[in-house]
Structure 1
Amino acid sequence: MELSSFDFLKQQDLPAGALYMVATPIGNMGDITLRALHVLNSVDGIACEDTRHSASLLQHFGIHKKCVALHEHNEIAGAQNIIQHLSQNERWAYISDAGTPGVSDPGARLVNAVQKAGFRIIPVPGASAVSSVISASGSVMLSSEGRFQFLGFWPNKAKERGALIQDMRSSSKTSIFFESPHQIRDTLITLSKELEPKRQVLVGRELTKKFEQLVTLSAADIPKWLEKAESLKGEFVILVAGRQTSSDKAPEYSALLLWANALSPHLGSKEIAAVLSQALGITKKEAYQVALDAKDQNEGQ
């Protein structure tokens, strides 16, 4: 069925003088959205992280538009070029090499410059390695009640790696980061040594592609898995489960109430719950109940 047969797309509002941040597939061409194709066919020009890389995508879908390169090395200068086009009431799109622009890809400086120049930014959502791996993470996300922190690409410098590992060890949120095939073995070995043996780690490889792999391991089992791993090629997304507070280590209710009472004159119940949950590793539900109890206690005095 041809794209033109989808009448609802013709009803989409496409304001002029706007920049469209368009998500593209991270591996499987079928993950392009109908809206993305409609926008890319409708704009006056497309800024690309790499015009050579994007050419195959655009050619595959029969999209023939003026393309300019806009990457991390020319993003500020490239943004001024886009702003000039927008000032002429044109529509422009930006696409990165894969996935959603601005997620560990260029795009943030471009958006900032365009917004400051007074022009509208319109996101066109689609594929993202982060949201894709979360949807298939199961138990690794359960303990954090859906909360996570995205760390981008794993750093090369030892000092920065040490700081992130310490953050992951102490955080109750699931940690998510990208890693290259060249460093993945060393990174996983480091996690196996630095994390508690039972801490869960999800390894996602080549998401949406032919050799996609999703494996959930305990930190202690990582070395054994690496010995048998058939391949460590491709792009990796790693999830590290948040720190769990076992019942025998959880703070006593009386201690929690002391914390909540100290915060009560200065914060609302939701804010108190957020502080207790983050600082003491208890669930939001437990923390909120303690906050309510503290408020009731103070109002009764």
Structure 2
Amino acid sequence: MNESPAEAPRGYRLNNVVVPARPLEPALYLVATPIGNLGDITLRALETLAGADVLACEDTRVSRVLLDRFGIRGRPYAYHEHNAAEAGPKLLQALEDGRSVALVSDAGTPLVSDPGYRLALQAIDAGYRVVPIPGASAPLAALLGSGLPNDAFLFAGFLPSKDKARRDRLAELAGVPATLIFFESPHRIAATLVAAADVLGARPAAVCRELTKTYEEFRRGLLADLAGQYEGQSVKGEIVLVIGPPEEAAPPEAADVDNILRDLAATLPAGKAASEAAKRTGLPRKELYDRLMALKG
């Protein structure tokens, strides 16, 4: 397994100054790397990448660009979905031997839509220490720039590629009271926006493309309007789609609540009728029970 040469001092270059790196304690370090702009790397990430005994990367060619930019020596070790069954045990053995292992994805935070989750779970199950090194994250960057509510949000990864499965998944998420965040490919974004508009209705959304890169772009608007903008377009770059939460339903009218209670009470005991009415209206069960008792009285 490749690692930093023993004879070469470990360190990284920052503003043309070589900064020595201290050896790391044995652990699996999950290191977030920039999603586009290399200036988004953190000092802690540089220290970890330079000080690790073993550096595992999703694509060594992609990671080499980052390592060369900051003068980090050593050859990264490939760990990706196609070699995980073979490479994973070797990385776990390195941990067993008391060495430090740093894991990075092509860009952003490891374990988010990449095979690193499997390795982290295996390390945890085996009792090894797992240390997150936070940093750049495409879902969070998109959420910040979208202008949509961020008090509650759900990252849902990639939607299915088939239209029916995509629409079924959107329908499952339609009632989630949170902003939805998806990764999407450029050749599917138009179809996804059409499906989202059909299933979710007139919700505000943002298509966030090439985040932190030279041609970073945010397009904001209602789903149907965005679908029209992308229809027939040739789109390039990585995309994050952010969709606003559903509008809160208006509370039912008092007369409607009374009718629901009367209908339920005709076939159910008062307690069960109040419970079922609570499910249908979203009102507190006790309030509905007291109201039913008043109606009966």
TM-score (normalizing by structure 2): 0.77
Contact 2:123–2:129 at 8 Å: present in 1 too? Answer: yes
* Corresponding residue number in structure 2 for 1:270: none
Structure 1 CA distance for aligned equivalents of residues 18 and 74 of structure 2: 21
210 and 249 in structure 1: CA distance in 2 versus 1, 3 angstrom threshold: farther
Superposition pairs of residues 129-140 of structure 1, within 5 angstroms: 129-138=138-147, 140=148
Cα deviation 1:149-187 (Å, max 9, x = unaligned):
211112113342122121233222211101111111221
Any stretches of 5+ residues in structure 2 without a counterpart?
1-13, 262-270, 289-297
64 and 122 in structure 1: CA distance in 2 versus 1, 3 angstrom threshold: same
1:91 aligns with 2:100: yes
Structure 2 CA distance for aligned equivalents of residues 125 and 280 of structure 1: 42
58 and 157 in structure 1: CA distance in 2 versus 1, 3 angstrom threshold: same
SS of alignment partner, residue 141 of structure 1: coil
1:50 aligns with 2:56: no
Contact 2:219–2:226 at 8 Å: present in 1 too? Answer: no
Structure 1 CA distance for aligned equivalents of residues 43 and 77 of structure 2: 23
* Corresponding residue number in structure 2 for 1:141: 149
88 and 242 in structure 1: CA distance in 2 versus 1, 3 angstrom threshold: same
Cα deviation 1:210-265 (Å, max 9, x = unaligned):
11111221123224433697x62111100111111242558989889x89x859xx
Structure 2 CA distance for aligned equivalents of residues 163 and 228 of structure 1: 24
203 and 280 in structure 1: CA distance in 2 versus 1, 3 angstrom threshold: farther
Aligned residue-pair number:
266
TM-score (normalizing by structure 1): 0.76
Q: CA RMSD in A?
A: 3.6
Structure 2 CA distance for aligned equivalents of residues 280 and 5 of structure 1: 65
* Corresponding residue number in structure 2 for 1:247: 250
Contact 1:27–1:98 at 8 Å: present in 2 too? Answer: yes
* Corresponding residue number in structure 2 for 1:169: 174
SS of alignment partner, residue 56 of structure 2: strand
* Corresponding residue number in structure 2 for 1:103: 112
Structure 1 CA distance for aligned equivalents of residues 138 and 286 of structure 2: 38
Structure 1 CA distance for aligned equivalents of residues 25 and 191 of structure 2: 49
Contact 1:44–1:66 at 8 Å: present in 2 too? Answer: no
127 and 280 in structure 1: CA distance in 2 versus 1, 3 angstrom threshold: farther
Any stretches of 5+ residues in structure 1 without a counterpart?
264-275, 295-301
- The Cα of 1:100 is off from its aligned counterpart by 0.2
* Corresponding residue number in structure 1 for 2:192: 187
2:42 maps to amino acid: T
Identity %: 39
SS of alignment partner, residue 122 of structure 1: strand
* Corresponding residue number in structure 2 for 1:36: 45
* Corresponding residue number in structure 1 for 2:239: 236
1:77 aligns with 2:77: no
Contact 1:79–1:114 at 8 Å: present in 2 too? Answer: no
71 and 30 in structure 1: CA distance in 2 versus 1, 3 angstrom threshold: same
